[in-house]
Amino acid sequence: MRRAGVVQVAGVAALVAALALFLLLLAPDHDAATGAAARAEHVQAGSGGTPAAGEGASSARRRDSRPSPPPTVITLAGAPAGRVVPRSFLGISTEYWALPLFEPERALLDRTLALLRPPGGAPLIVRVGGDSADRTFWGLTERQEPRWVVDLAPATLDQLRSLVRRVGVRLILDLNLVTDSPLTAARWAEAAAAKLPRGSILGFEVGNEPDLYERRFWAWTIAHPVLGVSLLPENLSPATYARDFSAYSIALAQAAPDIPLLGPATANPVTGRSWATTLMAYPHPRLGTVSGHVYPYSACSRPGTRSFPTIDRVLSENASAGIARRLGPAIALAHGAGLPFRLTELNSVTCGGRRGVSDTFATALWAPDALFEVLRAGVDAVNVHVRARAINAAFALSSSGMSARPLLYGLMMFDRALGPDARLAALRVRVPQQAAHSQRLKVWAVGVRGRRLHVLIIDKGSRPARVDLLIPSRGRATVERLLAPAVSATSNVTLAGQHLGADARWHGARVTESIAPSARGYMLTVPSMSAALVGVRLAGPTAVGSHSAAASHVPVAGSRGPAAASRGRAAARGGVPVRGGVPVRGGVPVRGGAAVRGRAAVRGGAAVRGSRTASHAPAAAASHPAT
């Protein structure tokens, strides 16, 4: 009798389980479908059986037993009317000594640089200099040069001229300020202006990071009877740099009169703002651009210090919105004098980078976010520093081929988010209360020619983000995804299902998703630690039309969280954290300086950050001794 009862109970349990499974299959599950599409996309593009990002996100989703929160709702707030994106905004920087290393791999270098060519036919700007600039000499006649010297020979100009003609790049050439004199540096500039195609030199930058100059270090480095310590300045200060700049300006006026100058190329434009202030206090008619460098973290820092690099810190707001916010006074100073402000070096970690941080997928998520942040803040152009054979380089070239680091994919994602006639667009973001403490979304919108809108969604959080895009369009939207097996992955990255091979070409089938609009707009899920680029054609008067008179130097206000139209609502600058749909500063919801309940307007980009990001103490910009 007991055995029969057990059989009866088992039969009832089986019937209930079958009924539950049947009902589950009938229920619509948009998120599951989207997640499956993302997984299928990455598995198809993967190689060697390596687990893909979609699979990793799926595993995390299975481990997370919390119910999925309602979607974050992102709405386009009118026609794209934010800051116009300057042509050739994104460029690269490298060292003089890297040129002969790249030379044997010309074809690979050309294809790699072509990947970063700005949209709309603008030239890629390559800055050559950095730490090596103060070691360069033109026309040395010694048979045996000291090891620390970088010889600028006719072969150097041949390499640069060939690069300009092959790829169509324009150049910024850094000049030796520390171990050379204005007259001999001017001879190099004169030779470059004569040998290189006319118009190919965008400018000469005077010196490199003079705010880090230490005579004792250079005295130890030189120790040479001819190129001796007597050449070294006793010290470099804002005042001495301004006088040196004048001497270089006079010498270069004879050697290359049509080419403007850049300076002061400080390592830290935030703490070193007096260098630019003093420089611009002098009459320098040939100063064409105010320049500086930014690296939020330094591999030369000790563990436990605020500038020591970790993956979490690279993903933090300090590494993107933080650097943009701190650059504000330097940008305002340049623009107030009618000059553009250019970051001639930018990367996440200086001192060559830190293995396990600078070469991971975290940098691919950092790059487009940081670039959009400094763009919105008013920076006019950026050169991402690519130091050959360094951990923090976006790519490496060798006889084995091109090795594409995750950072390179992030730079290309940024480029794809732009387009001809690109300008930032305003967004409204409504964050569900349930997700306010777990989401770490960054959202950027760009309007481009042809009534196209690009929306870049970066999920730096630990959970997938459900997103509803409310955009005035009746057409289908396309989605390209930036994925990797894990945020710490150093390889197996894909962009739109493809990966870059050793030949610097795309491999694998290009995979994009197509989403039809619904009553909730365009619905998609962005897996944890990934990015999605949505493209859609706008309808009606919201479409991108003729650009209004928006000043290109005016930073576009931004907010981290829900946003409303700018009229009648407060605009938040620099990305304000949100909690439960309310902007927060210091734990207190604010609007216009007063505690409120409500929403804040954003233009250009919106960020959504929960408690995980907020737990990071803001780190000061690293003062870096070397790049």
pLDDT digits 0-9 by tens, 72-119: 999 998 878 889 999 999 999 999 999 999 999 999 999 999 999 998
Q: What is the CATH number of the domain that holds 178?
A: 3.20.20.80
According to the model, what pLDDT value does residue 220 have?
67
Question: Does the pLDDT at position 262 exceed 60?
Answer: yes
pLDDT level of residue 67 (50, 70, 90 thresholds): low
Q: Are 290 and 427 in a shared domain?
A: no
Instruction: Say yes or no to pLDDT of 46 above 50.
Output: no
**Does 17 fall in a domain?**
no
Q: Are 219 and 231 in contact (CB under 8 A)?
A: no
In a domain, 9, yes or no: no
Interior/surface letters 591-601, b for 16+ CB within 10 angstroms, e for the rest: beeeeeeebbb
Does residue 135 fall inside a structural domain? yes
d(CA 141, CA 121): 42
Task: Kindly state the average pLDDT of the residues 216-240.
Answer: 70
pLDDT at 139: 85
Residue 30 has pLDDT above 60, yes or no: no
- Contact yes or no for 466/71 (Cβ under 8 A): yes
Q: Which two tokens stand for residue 261?
A: 């100058």
431 with 506, same domain: the answer is yes
What is the spatial distance between Cα 506 and Cα 112, in angstroms, rounded to a whole number?
11
Whether residue 319 contacts residue 313, with contact meaning beta carbons closer than 8 Å, is answered with yes
**Domain-located, residue 29:** no
pLDDT in tens, 392-408: 999 999 999 999 999 99
Q: What is the mean pLDDT of the chain?
A: 79
Residue 549 confidence (pLDDT) above 50? no
The least confident of 10-19, 160-169, 417-426, 567-576 is 567-576
By CB atoms closer than 10 A (0-12, 13-18, 19+), residue 410 is buried
Last residue of a domain, one of 356, 383, 417: 417
Domain count, the chain: 2
Confidence of residue 147 (pLDDT cuts 50, 70, 90): confident
Q: Is residue 268 part of a domain?
A: yes
pLDDT score of 233: 75
Indicate the pTM of the whole model. 0.78
Token pair listed for 322: 């933080």
**Residues forming a β-bridge with 522:** 469
201 & 123 share domain: yes
User: Of the candidates 417, 444, 475, which is a domain's last residue?
Assistant: 417
- Residue 548 belongs to domain with CATH number: 2.60.40.1180
Q: Comparing 106-120, 341-355, 589-603, which segment has the lowest mean pLDDT?
A: 589-603
Residue 129 has phi, psi (to 5 degrees) of 160, -115
Final residue belonging to a domain, choices 366, 396, 417: 417
| Residue 37 belongs to a domain | no
Same domain, 497 and 435: yes
Same domain, 448 and 391: no
Give me the pLDDT at residue 1, please.
44
CB contact burial 462-485 (16+ within 10 A = b; e otherwise): ebbbbbbbebbbeeebbbbbbbbb
375 and 478 together in one domain: no
| Residues 141, 251 share a domain | yes
Summarised one tens digit per residue, pLDDT across range 367-378 is 999 999 999 999
Q: Is the predicted pLDDT of residue 155 greater than 60, yes or no?
A: yes
> Residues 408-421: pLDDT tens digits?
999 999 999 999 99
Is 333 in the same domain as 469?
no
Give yes or no for residue 521 having a pLDDT over 50: yes
Domain range for residue 441?
A: 51-82+422-614
Q: Decide if pLDDT at 222 tops 90.
A: no
For residue 287, give both structure tokens.
């100063």
Q: Are residues 396 and 514 in the same domain?
A: no
Does residue 441 contact residue 88 with C-beta atoms inside 8 Å? no
- Please tell me whether residues 58 and 127 are part of one structural domain: no
pLDDT value, residue 142: 66
Domain assignment present for residue 5? The answer is no
Residues 139 and 182 in one domain: yes
Q: Answer yes or no: is pLDDT of 511 > 60.
A: yes
Distances (CA, A) of 552 to 372, 421, 575: 14, 12, 20
Answer whether residue 546 shows pLDDT above 60.
no
Per-residue confidence (pLDDT) for residue 143, from 0 to 100: 62
Q: What is the mean pLDDT of residues 118-140?
A: 93
Q: Which of 58-67, 133-142, 325-334 has the lowest mean pLDDT?
A: 58-67
Residue 386 lies in a domain: yes
223 pLDDT band (50/70/90 cuts)? low
Q: Is 283 in the same domain as 188?
A: yes
Model confidence band, residue 283 (pLDDT cutoffs 50, 70, 90): confident
Tell me whether residue 258 is exposed, middle or buried, using C-beta atoms within 10 angstroms of its C-beta: 0 to 12, 13 to 18, 19 or more.
Answer: exposed
pLDDT over 60 at 333, yes or no: yes
Chain CA centroid to CA 474, Å: 32
